[in-house]
């Protein structure tokens, strides 16, 4: 499956990543050079939060040391420099995902971005009913009889906002089920997405299964129904080439803390023609043109959705992270993580009493694996691995319906990134092989 259709680039001509290069990359990440419980840290929890290279931390520190000021509000030297750094960062991040500058909205995280879309769409109905705003708002308003479609593998962040949108508007929420292997039932998707579908929201790559979804097929179904498309790119933007325009997204979201940047910064992409007519989500300073005691008029995007003092230093740091990933090569990172993921899944599947979720070994997935150890709770597995210096994620990973569908309440998840080696994976597999014996399972 083609993830994006882009011409051959210099990046694709670069050599495949190997352990020697990864060891050089690790030198950029100070946190990885420490002992945990007397053992060298093996960090396999990047699917939750990635680590930060020195260049990213220095970018944020340099902003505070040299140009800290409020943006868009001052005429003095520092304010001008801060504004330039802030907006330069927006352009860098827009370029990173193939978006336009004015289509790139700063948020606190991807969850906020999804809630922004959800509330803006419900406000569209309210504005349209009162004859306020652009005439096109009536086409975006949802009502009883309309349907919102998600998938059974969604993170709660891409499920609950749509549940609430359905509640506020009277629309119906439907979902595309998965099969036992964790793939979407595309035969059912073609039946579920139909004339009543107004919005389709789905994850590019599952944070539990590692599945990379068939984006173009899903978009084609949505377009045939005239529905909007929302992409959760939290597990794809940090790991593989992404071009939101090439994929024909109406909206897409991702978070900085999963792609080498600080916490507290995320991105919402939206098509310009949609962003400019949607009602704002948060209101206040910086996003208005004229205010009277009775009403306000709002700026176009991106400022339309950026009320109040923004995440300035975090945006600068996110741009530095995007540059780091671009210079390393997203295609190369994806291929390396695919190798690590395949090695991890094959190793786990060879162990007795281990059930791996998602695609079988040899099938495409991102570099993570969630698994269940027969007779041992996921929390105990995580503590056992931590005692050996191995950091993984445990729990339902904010995907309770998915776990329930697979007959589980919790799993252990190991996730790789560009700073992991095959030795990290092998140490992890060696430790997992001893879990059941340790607990007498």
The residues annotated with a catalytic role in the active site are 398
Tokens found for residue 155? 């993170």
Distances (CA, A) of 246 to 97, 203, 251: 10, 17, 13
User: For the chain, what's the residue count?
Assistant: 441
- Element housing 394 (H / E): strand 393-395
CA distance 208 to 232: 14
- Phi, psi (degrees; rounded to nearest 5) at 79: -65, -40
CA distance 297 to 279: 10
Helices marked H in 205-329 — which ranges? 215-225, 272-275, 312-328
Nearest Cα to Cα of residue 25 among 288, 418, 440:
418
Would you give the end-to-end CA distance of the chain in angstroms? Answer: 40
3-state SS, residue 414: strand
């Amino acid at each position: 499956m083609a993830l994006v259709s882009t011409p051959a680039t210099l990046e694709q001509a670069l050599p495949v990543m190997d352990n020697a290069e990864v060891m050089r990359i690790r030198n950029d990440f100070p946190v990885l050079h420490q002992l945990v419980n007397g053992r060298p840290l093996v960090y396999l929890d990047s699917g939750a939060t990635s680590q930060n290279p020195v260049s990213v931390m220095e970018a944020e520190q340099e902003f505070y040391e040299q140009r800290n000021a409020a943006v868009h509000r001052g005429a003095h030297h520092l304010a001008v420099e801060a504004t330039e750094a802030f907006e330069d960062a927006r352009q860098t991040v827009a370029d990173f995902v193939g978006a336009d500058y004015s289509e790139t909205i700063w948020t606190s995280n991807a969850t906020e971005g999804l809630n922004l879309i959800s509330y803006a769409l419900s406000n569209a109905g309210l504005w349209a009913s009162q004859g306020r705003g652009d005439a096109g708002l009536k086409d975006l308003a949802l009502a009883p009889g309309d349907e919102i479609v998600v998938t059974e593998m969604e993170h709660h962040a891409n499920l609950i906002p749509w549940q609430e949108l359905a509640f506020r508007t009277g629309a119906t929420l439907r979902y595309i089920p998965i099969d036992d292997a964790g793939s979407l039932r595309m035969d059912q998707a073609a039946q579920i997405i139909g004339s009543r579908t107004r919005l389709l929201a789905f994850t590019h790559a599952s944070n539990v299964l590692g599945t990379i979804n068939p984006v173009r097929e899903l978009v084609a179904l949505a377009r045939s129904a005239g529905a909007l498309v929302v992409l959760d790119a939290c597990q794809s933007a940090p790991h593989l080439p992404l071009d939101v325009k090439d994929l024909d997204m109406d909206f897409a979201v991702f978070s900085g803390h999963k792609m080498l940047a600080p916490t507290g910064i995320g991105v919402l992409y939206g098509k310009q023609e949609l962003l400019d007519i949607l009602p704002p989500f948060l209101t206040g300073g910086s996003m208005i043109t004229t205010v009277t005691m009775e009403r306000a008029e709002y700026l176009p995007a991106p400022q339309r959705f950026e009320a109040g003092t923004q995440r300035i230093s975090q945006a600068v740091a996110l741009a530095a992270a995007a540059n780091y990933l671009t210079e390393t090569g997203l295609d190369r990172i994806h291929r390396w993580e695919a190798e690590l993921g395949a090695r991890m899944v094959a190793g786990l599947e060879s162990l007795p009493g281990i059930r791996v979720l998602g695609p079988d070994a040899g099938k495409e997935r991102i570099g993570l694996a969630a698994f269940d150890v027969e007779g041992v709770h996921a929390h105990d597995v995580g503590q056992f691995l931590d005692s050996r210096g191995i950091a993984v994620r445990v729990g339902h990973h904010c995907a309770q319906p998915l776990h329930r569908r697979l007959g589980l309440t919790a799993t252990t998840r190991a996730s790789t990134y560009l700073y992991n080696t095959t030795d990290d994976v092998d140490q992890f597999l060696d430790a997992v092989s001893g879990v059941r014996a340790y607990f007498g399972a």
